Structure 1
């Protein structure tokens, strides 16, 4: 298992612990990290987006009320939350079908929820991207002012060397040298 996945799991465990202590902001973090997967489970069981959204809301209400019961020794945070989602979806399905002799909605096993494509990046991928972005910005901050300004203008604003040379009132070759030297320093910084 990668270090990023381990880190994401630990952050989720910590967020559940903070939620258990009454930290409302922890619930937002947990939601962002888990809602796509849990919604997939609810949708697979219920077969209806509106019902799945209602079940998902019930999951987070239940989590708010029972975060103290989470035991990281017994289950990973996502497994524990997936169980919440499965149970809430099944409860909702039963309540929707109560009174009828047979269930009218088809449900699939919870393992089939994996097949639902989530377009949002996984929490561990987001963490890796944030770390990478932070490192790039730290390395850019270490460059000389003129190199930093030239690289930011070229790569973040899309300016050409000729446009930057004209704006800075320097020869085109000088501007190219600033960018080339800055990129060399940036590469060295990023490799460490």
Structure 2
């Protein structure tokens, strides 16, 4: 099987994992869903080479925007971009693009990878908080303090889970020689 085709299949499977991880949730403040979605998105961003990590996020977003019920609570449609969670949707894509650009550096060591996961989370929260501040017409410091208290402790826990998931996935995939570029970098460091 062609290597590009393998990565495309993994990107589609990754988008499916993102969709599944979105459906199991707890609603906080009556409007913000807490899911395992960020772990699935970080798995895509760090495990799949560019452009396939970005492709998996785009596939997820496009499916939701054209009407498939893939967003939280089975939601779909362009209206989600303008609702309370819209900034997090933008943040998924922007954070993933950033990670994909610097992916080889983040994969050089476990510490770099954990740092990258924290950066991904920071970018995601930044866009989510700015957008939520605008939608709710509340000062950014108010949104920041609310989100910080509510989500940051869980984000640290989810970052550790993401680290372990990414390392496990990369070791399994890289042994299959799908990304020979990173074999020497990553398998020798972790």
Name the TM-score, length of structure 1 as normaliser.
0.31
Larger radius of gyration: 1
Relative to the length of structure 2, the TM-score reads 0.31
Higher strand proportion (structure 1 or 2): 2
